[in-house]
Amino acid sequence: MLEIFKNGGPVMYPLALCSIISLTIIIERSFFWIKIGMQRNQKLVDKVLKLSRQGDWEGVKKAASGSNNYVVRIIVSGILHREYSMIKAMESAAADEINRMQRFMGGLDTMITIAPLMGILGTVIGIIASFEMLGASGIENPQAVTGGIAQALITTATGLSIAIITVFPYNYFNSRIKKAAAIMEKYATSFEIVYNQILLHQQDNQGNVK
């Protein structure tokens, strides 16, 4: 591997940096989603919705206290702002959660795009050097020229390898983000329906009293 790296030329150094950046982001995002999975608590979400149907807002706050579940945080944000702008509060909280999930995804996207381009650049530089060698030595030593071209192609292979390896976790993380966004929308809508039912019930009770 070290010999291949040396033969690839100077462009191999930025390619190595690209691979380190990609690997670091992939590891960080993997731990992030593992943590999200560990924090998932469907029973707590159901309990929060049940207490919301009963209008027990203090009970919701106590049940959700200390929870790192992103669905619960969004619902609690709606509860805290229910008398002003509940929907906008939940939308803002959901946007914060999505931004947190999308962290560093732009970096992975950049590595997928730039690594093959840098690989091609290294190959072009290597081929130019090979033809310069051909011009200097003539056709008496074609092995040196073909060997130089073979070495130049190392950067293209390296860049493509980095992009291919990176694209799979990138697509996986994006699918997790989309799934999480759908879950947020589902429970935010459920809470909105529950709260509207409570308001209608209160209005009916006030009408009956009158």
What is the tens place of the pLDDT at every residue in 14-38?
A: 999 999 999 999 999 999 999 999 8
CA separation for the pair 41, 61 (Å, rounded): 16
Q: In Å, how far are 7, 47, 73, 88, 181 from 63, measured between CA atoms?
A: 61, 8, 11, 23, 23
CA separation for the pair 153, 123 (Å, rounded): 5
Higher pLDDT, 75 or 5: 75
Q: In Å, how far are 79, 200, 201, 208 from 204, measured between CA atoms?
A: 22, 6, 5, 6
CA separation for the pair 116, 156 (Å, rounded): 6
Contact at 8 Å (CB) between 24 and 162?
no
CA separation for the pair 95, 184 (Å, rounded): 10
- Per-residue model confidence (pLDDT) at position 139: 58
With cut-offs at 50, 70 and 90, classify the pLDDT of residue 2. confident
- Per-residue model confidence (pLDDT) at position 130: 77
**Is the model's pLDDT at 137 over the cut of 70?**
no
